[in-house]
Structure 1
Amino acid sequence: MTHEVKKTVAEINKRIEKGKAVVLTAAEMVDAVRRLGKVKAAREVDVVATGTFSPMCSSGMLFNFGQEPPVMKAQKVRIGGIPAHAGLAAVDAYVGATELPKDDPLNKIHPGRFKYGGAHVIEDLLRGKSVKLWCEAYGTDCYPRRSLEKDVTLADLKYAALLNPRNCYQNYNVAVNLTSRIVYTYMGPLKPNARNANFATAGELSPLFNDPYLKTIGLGTRIFLGGGTGYVIGAGTQHDPRPKRNERGIPLSAAGTLMVKGDMKGMDPRYVRAVSILGYGVSLAVGIGIPIPILNEDMAFFTGVSDADIQMPVKDYGHDYPNGIARTLGYVTYAECRSGEVVINGKPTQAVPMTSLAMSLEVATKLKERIEAGKFLLTEPVEPIESA
């Protein structure tokens, strides 16, 4: 394949350092490609800033709380009352965003209304609050301490990273409920007989819609993560590299995902928020922005994707999903979802977003501003992520 336009990441970075790079948000790029065509847009635009802010259940914090005499090898750890996995090393632990306490007082009064979980611990730490750290150990000659209990802040932790196994889904289901009773899901409560349709992703702003074949995103890609700087460290844990796609390369199902990490001490709690989902539990809303270098007209074409180009599968979460049935009821576009109403089984149905479009645009805009200010350079992947 030959291209009329050819750029390199190194060339684009030089333009960023000189303050000459042309950076557009993904929403702005839709208009640019429509007006200019992909070749001229590729010549004029250097970087497209994408963004999403949505509940991402597969998230968590890897942390090290440091030693104090006498030293210990923690066997059981709770932070903020939330169990953390301690089978890593002496004072390393991992707390998942969806982890819950054994006893949640609010849940006893109103089943399914979870008040506090791992995501809340993460947000509290980012807000500068102190949380209770509790540890238990069996004791050894080299690690004699058997217990530890103290209050800690983010500053007290020797190491704290947001380490998320599966974020940034490339497309996702539109959830409906075809049963005669309300069902409670990670996509929110779903009314009976498909009286609402809940959807996620940020449409044309969403990172993996703008690089559907992952041509510029891979191991080592620098990203905006939670208000700070993070990195892609590989494919997410449910990454599907070969989904069925439409003519623009957009997957017609939940497909690509990313594993990401970043230093929490450089993050902003505005872009990392705990979420309590009625009847389901706890999740973590994460702001992620990925810069897409416009290396050629193909990348200009891909980043010109619009909400109307994105088809999303409709799935029944009342019967099919819980029973592992993969049936797709049909497709609706993101543009239709964004209008507030979609047609399900021939009937108008209220469409309810799980993703904040306003915050997604803010993430993309913040990333754009950092690139324009020369504070955020692009990286080339050291290893690609498989995508057919």
Structure 2
Amino acid sequence: MAGASQTLRTIAEINERIKKGKAVVVNASEMTEIVRREGKAKAAREVDVVTTGTFSPMCSSGLFFNIGQSGPVIRASRIKLNNVPAYGGIAAVDGYIGATEPTEDDPLNKVYPGRFHYGGGHVIEDLVAGKSVHLKAESYVTDCYPRKVVERDITLADLPFAELLNPRNCYQNYNAAVNLTSRTIYTYMGPLKPDARNCNFATAGELSPLFNDPYLRTIGLGTRIFLGGGIGYVIGAGTQHNPKPQRNERGIPLTPSGTLMVKGDLKGMQERYLRGISFLGYGCSLSLGVGIPIPILDEELAWFTGVADSDILMPVKDYGHDYPNGIHKILAHAPFSELKSGEIKLDGKRVPTVPLTSHVMSLEVADKLKEWIQQGKFLLSEPVEPIPSR
């Protein structure tokens, strides 16, 4: 880990430079080259902000919404959107739909049990795309809520409130998955062929937000971010957040570690950066674009944002036997640069690798955020509460 260094600028000073159009903003891959070429001291003096980005499946995501009332009123205890169950046990006409909840009558489920292809993530994408979604809400009757059923087609514009609220996004590192059994298995990491004939992985590497600020020095409650093509905010640690993983000398965790809970107004998002997806034989999820700006306050942050793909080691785990049985064995650590190249070596065997994260879209997210900052449309925010990271 780099030692703490003298502050060169504050977030308030960076925001003033952004407002005047003078801020120097680069994406995380560009910063890697600058630090490699110029060193961390010069990079820290020259660069104000580094933008990061990822576009990856983020299963722990969902939408809080309110369907509104028209007389007679209802207490919607059971809600479905396009026949995908949502949680209605909140109050009146509030609901929450999770990205991985499948539709109850998916035709694939009838042919291949468990192999859903439409779910909550697709409903969220359809709403953002302006499509109509079929709403059905049911309830028992009370004196104050006399209506039993509401059924109609709605669009995002019809919802008085629609807030993407994701309990766990942006894993700081994650497993690369292989299957050591003799049969193909179907997982949230995608289909895995027998005898380790493929290795699936999910991260944006040197572009990934939490690899560029591994100790979350600049990321906490209130951090403004790019979320799904709109503006979002970090609201704390995500579920399964591990603040004290084993790390390498750059502070990069060697196991799944930091996560973020985030939120943003769905009505400000774009379908390009928010896609419902399906994993054959497993279920459905949501691929989401997230970008976080890292202010370069000192040399240490410049050094952290200079992280390269070769610095990132991902744990390779067996999803055929070990993972489903709660065995936390790590078969090897694979450099992300090798995973990204298309193959790794595992026990002397060449194993093809398959990314679940789109590098092209991750770079686009980082560059879109860079553009917003350069145009003065996006200012940085001070975290009001830190997220534990040591």
State whether structure 2 residue 257 is matched by structure 1 residue 255.
yes
2:77 to 75, 78, 99: 75
User: Secondary structure in 1 aligned to 2:373?
Assistant: helix
Cα deviation, residue 111, structure 1: 3.6
List per-residue Cα deviations over 1:25-83 (Å, max 9, x = no partner): 00000001111111110010000000000000000110001010111111111111110
State the distance in 1 between where 2:380 and 2:174 align.
27
Q: Distance in 2 between matches of 1:23 and 1:356?
A: 23
Residue in 1 that maps onto 2:367:
365
Residue 109 (structure 1) shift: 2.1
Inter-partner Cα distance in structure 1 for 2:23 and 2:17: 5
User: In the alignment, which residue of structure 2 is the partner of 1:333?
Assistant: 335
Tell me the residue number matched to 1:18. 20
What is the CA–CA distance in structure 2 between the aligned matches of 1:103 and 1:147, rounded to whole Å? 20
**Distance in 2 of aligned mates of 1:169 and 1:113:** 25
CA distance in 1 between counterparts of 2:275 and 2:113 reads 22
1:291 aligned to 2:289?
Answer: no
Query: Could you tell me which residue of structure 1 aligns to residue 136 of structure 2?
Result: 134
Residue aligning to 1:231: 233
Letter matched to residue 32 of structure 1? I
Name the SS of the counterpart of 2:15 in structure 1: helix
1:156 pairs with one of 158, 165, 169? 158
- Which ranges of structure 2 fall in alignment gaps of 5 or more residues? none
| Aligned match of 1:147 | 149
In structure 2, what is the Cα distance between the partners aligned to 1:180 and 1:115? 26
For the pair 1:168 / 2:170, whether they are aligned, the reply is yes
- How far residue 107 of structure 1 moved from its aligned partner, in angstroms, is 2.1
Q: CA RMSD in A?
A: 0.9
SS at the partner of 1:284? strand
- Counterparts of 2:373 and 2:186 in 1: how far apart (Å)? 41
Any stretches of 5+ residues in structure 1 without a counterpart?
A: none
Which residue of 104, 117, 120 corresponds with 1:115?
A: 117
Conserved? CA contact 2:112–2:281, under 8 Å: no
How far has the Cα of 1:112 moved from its partner?
A: 4.1
Q: 1:324: which partner in 2?
A: 326
Q: Per-residue deviation at 1:4? A: 4.4
Instruction: Say yes or no: does 1:86 pair with 2:91.
Output: no
What is the SS of the residue equivalent to 2:142? Answer: coil
1:132 is paired with a residue whose SS is: strand
Distance across 2 between alignment mates of 1:261 and 1:377: 17
Matched to 1:257, the amino acid is T
SS in 1 for 2:135: strand
Shift, 1:2, TM fit: 6.1
Q: 1:276 aligns with which of 278, 290, 311?
A: 278
Per-residue deviation at 1:133? 0.6
| Distance in structure 1 (CA, Å) of the matches to 2:370 and 2:4 | 29
Contact 2:216 2:387 in 1 (8 A): yes
**Are 1:49 and 2:61 an aligned pair?**
no
Take 2:138 and 2:285, find their aligned partners in 1: how far apart are those partners?
Answer: 27
Identity %: 69
User: Taking structure 2 as the reference length, what is the TM-score of the superposition?
Assistant: 0.98
Alignment CA distance shift 1:2-1:101 (3 Å): closer
Give the C-alpha shift of residue 110 in structure 1: 3.4
Give the TM-score taking structure 1 as reference length.
0.99
Displacement after TM superposition at 1:141 (Å):
1.4
Aligned to 2:381: 379
Shift in Å, 1:317? 0.2
Q: Secondary structure at the match of 2:105?
A: coil
Residue identity matched to 1:55: P
Q: How does 1:293-308 map to 2 (within 5 A)?
A: 293-308=295-310
For the Cα contact (< 8 Å) 1:5–1:39, is it kept in 2? no
SS in 2 for 1:133: strand
SS at match of 1:314: strand
Q: Secondary structure at the match of 1:143?
A: coil
